Amino acid sequence: MQNFVHKKRIHLGAAFLLVIFALLFFLLIGRFLFLQATGEVKGHNMSAEAAKYYNVNKNIQADRGAILDRSGDPIAEDTPSFNLVAVLDKSLSTGKIKRHVVDPQETASKLAPLLEADESEILEKLLQDRKQVEFGAIGRDISPSVKNKIEELELPGIAFIEGKKRYYWNGVFASHVVGFARPDENGQVKGSIGLEKMLEEELKEQDGNYTIKTDNKGTILPKDANVSFVPAINGKNVHLTLDKTIQTFLEEAMTEVDEKYEPEKIMAIVADPKTGQILAMGSRPTFDLNTRAGLTDNWNNDTISYRYEPGSTMKIFSLAAAIEEGVYNGSELYESGTYMLPKDPIPVRDHNGGVGWGTITFDEGVQRSSNVAFALLADKMGTDTLLEYIKAFGMDKPTGIDLPDETTSNINYHYYRDRISTAFGQGSAFTPIQQIQAATAIANDGKMMQPYVIDKIVDPNTNEVVLQNKPKQKGEPISKETADKVLSVLESVVSAENGTGRPYAIDGYSVAAKTGTAQMPGPDGKYLYGHGEYIYSITGMAPADDPELLMYVAVQKPKIEKHENGAGPVSGVFNNVMRRSLQYLSIQPDEKVESARDKKQTGLEVPDLTGRSVKTAISGSEGAESPNYIILGNGSKVLKQIPEAGQSVIKAERVLLLTEKEPPMPDMTGWSLRDVRKLTNLLGIKPNIVGNGYVHKQNIAPGSVLKSGDHLIIELKSNRPLPESEDEEEEEEREAVS
Kindly give the pairing relationship between strand 711-717 and strand 686-691. Answer: parallel
Beta partners for 82? 142, 162
C-alpha distance from residue 235 to each of 64, 66, 188, 202, 205 (Å): 5, 8, 14, 6, 4
Cβ(595)–Cβ(570) under 8 Å? no
Identify which of 220, 416, 194 has the alpha carbon closest to the alpha carbon of residue 300: 194
Specify whether the backbone of 240 is left (phi greater than 0), alpha (psi in -120 to 50) or beta. Answer: beta
Active site residue 312: yes
Query: Angle of helix 383-392 relative to helix 416-423, nearest 10 degrees?
Result: 50
Reduced to 3 states (helix: H, G, I; strand: E, B; else coil), residue 506 is strand
The number of C-alpha atoms within 13 Å of 343 and in the hemisphere containing its C-beta is: 2
Burial letters for 526-554: b for 16+ Cβ neighbours within 10 Å, e otherwise?
ebbbebbbbbbbbbbbbbbebbbbbbbbb
* Contact partners, residue 247, CB within 8 Å, separation at least 6: 69, 173, 174, 279, 280, 281, 282
Q: What is the DSSP string of 655-670?
A: EEEE-SSSPBPP--TT
Specify whether the backbone of 230 is left (phi greater than 0), alpha (psi in -120 to 50) or beta. Answer: beta
Q: What are phi and psi of 550, to 5 degrees?
A: -125, 135
Alpha carbon distance 165, 176 (integer Å): 20
Question: What's the sign of the alpha-carbon dihedral 497, 503, 508, 514?
Answer: negative
Farthest CA pair distance, the chain: 159
Residues 175, 312, 336, 725: which is the catalytic one? Answer: 312
Which residues are part of the catalytic machinery? 312
